[in-house]
């Protein structure tokens, strides 16, 4: 088997593919030969991802999508099928951290925004992705959870609730599709070095807090987007053919302390 092009002729849909983990994963699938569909609200950045893929000699399109809206998610999947006539893999990555703070100080608006994006968005994505994968005889889906789906994080109660929900949703739907040829797993990254993380630390302007955050990862650093991307690609590959309903922790040892 040609490992470089093991996904040639396949189609991968990635939500939140405009930057960070989503962009790295889109590029990783393209390197393996897959055609890629990017669903995101951020048009400029997403088109940049598409351009990067095309420069590699692969195919990609962008469909502007708000994953909290069923009609837009359905359109994203329909555009995928209209363009490439199939859907094999999906990485449901789009998410938001929301406003952090004590639970008793949180607003209903913040709850709705975070839950609708991180949890409802994953549910809607699978709702429309799975029927198309069944037409191909199967496929693989990876949902982006977080270490916050495995442990509690002070002042992150809503985010934790949403990511714990993603893991539970992944397990339940994996069982539903286990005999249908669709494997469904999740990844649980700790802090990954992205533009969003850089912006957050620049706003805090707290070197000591950053050093403490790095120290919380026994491996001694934050993760890189490509390290998550490689795990997602592996979970979708034949090398992971006996894995479903699993939550793969990618955290530099954060949760084993």
Task: Give dist(CA 257, CA 246) in Å, integer.
Answer: 21
pLDDT at residue number 252 = 96
Q: Give me the residue spans of the domains in the chain.
A: 3-194+225-250
Task: Give dist(CA 184, CA 199) in Å, integer.
Answer: 32
Q: Over 60: is that where the pLDDT of 1 sits? A: no
Backbone angles phi, psi at 94, to 5 degrees: -60, 135
* pLDDT tens digits for range 17-36: 999 999 999 999 999 999 99
Q: Over 70: is that where the pLDDT of 200 sits? A: no
Q: Over 80: is that where the pLDDT of 201 sits? A: no
Give Cα separations from 189 to 41, 86, 111 (angstroms): 22, 29, 22
Task: Give dist(CA 247, CA 165) in Å, integer.
Answer: 12
Mean pLDDT of 131-142: 97
Report helix, strand or coil for 4. helix
Mean pLDDT of 2-16: 86
pLDDT at residue number 199 = 66
Mean pLDDT of the chain: 94
Q: Which of the residue ranges 67-71, 166-170, 212-216, 248-252 would you say has the lowest mean pLDDT?
A: 212-216
Q: Over 70: is that where the pLDDT of 163 sits? A: yes
| Tally of CB atoms within 10 A around 81 | 14
Are 97 and 90 in contact by the 8 Å Cβ rule? The answer is no
- Which residues are within 8 A (CB) of 85 and not within 5 positions of it... i.e. 6 or more apart? none
* pLDDT tens digits for range 181-197: 999 999 999 999 987 77
Give Cα separations from 15 to 77, 89, 95, 137, 242 (angstroms): 11, 12, 9, 22, 25
Task: Give dist(CA 235, CA 152) in Å, integer.
Answer: 26
- Find tokens 């449901």 and name the residue: 92
pTM of the model: 0.95
Annotated catalytic residue: which of 84, 128, 159, 254?
159
Give Cα separations from 34 to 4, 27, 53, 140 (angstroms): 10, 9, 10, 13
Mean pLDDT of 128-150: 97
Q: Is 89 a catalytic site residue?
A: no
pLDDT at residue number 202 = 64
* pLDDT tens digits for range 211-255: 888 999 999 999 999 999 999 999 999 999 999 999 999 999 999
Task: Give dist(CA 245, CA 167) in Å, integer.
Answer: 9
Query: Quick one: fold of 3-194+225-250?
Result: Rossmann fold (3.40.50)
Higher pLDDT pick, 198 / 237: 237
pLDDT at residue number 230 = 98
């Amino acid at each position: 088997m040609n490992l470089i092009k093991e996904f040639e002729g396949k189609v991968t849909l990635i939500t939140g593919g405009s930057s960070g983990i989503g962009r790295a994963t889109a590029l990783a699938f393209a390197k393996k030969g897959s055609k890629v569909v990017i669903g995101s609200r951020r048009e400029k950045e997403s088109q940049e991802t598409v351009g990067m893929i095309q420069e590699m000699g692969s195919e990609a399109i962008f469909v502007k999508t708000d994953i909290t809206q069923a009609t837009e998610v359905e359109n994203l999947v329909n555009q995928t099928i209209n363009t490439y006539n199939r859907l094999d893999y999906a990485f449901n990555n789009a998410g938001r951290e929301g406003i952090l703070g004590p639970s008793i100080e949180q607003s209903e608006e913040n709850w709705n925004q975070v839950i609708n994006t991180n949890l409802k968005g994953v549910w809607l994505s699978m709702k429309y992705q799975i029927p198309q994968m069944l037409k191909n005889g199967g496929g693989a889906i990876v949902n982006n959870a977080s270490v916050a789906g495995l442990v509690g994080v002070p002042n992150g109660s809503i985010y934790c609730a949403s990511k714990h929900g993603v893991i539970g949703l992944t397990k339940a739907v994996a069982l539903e599709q286990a005999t249908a040829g669709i494997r469904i797993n999740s990844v649980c990254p700790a802090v990954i070095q992205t533009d969003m993380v850089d912006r957050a630390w620049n706003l805090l302007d707290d070197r000591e807090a950053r050093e403490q955050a790095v120290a919380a990862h026994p491996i001694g650093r934050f993760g890189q987007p490509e390290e998550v991307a490689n795990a997602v690609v592996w979970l979708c590959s034949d090398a992971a053919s006996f894995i479903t309903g699993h939550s793969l922790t990618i955290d530099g040892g954060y949760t084993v302390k």
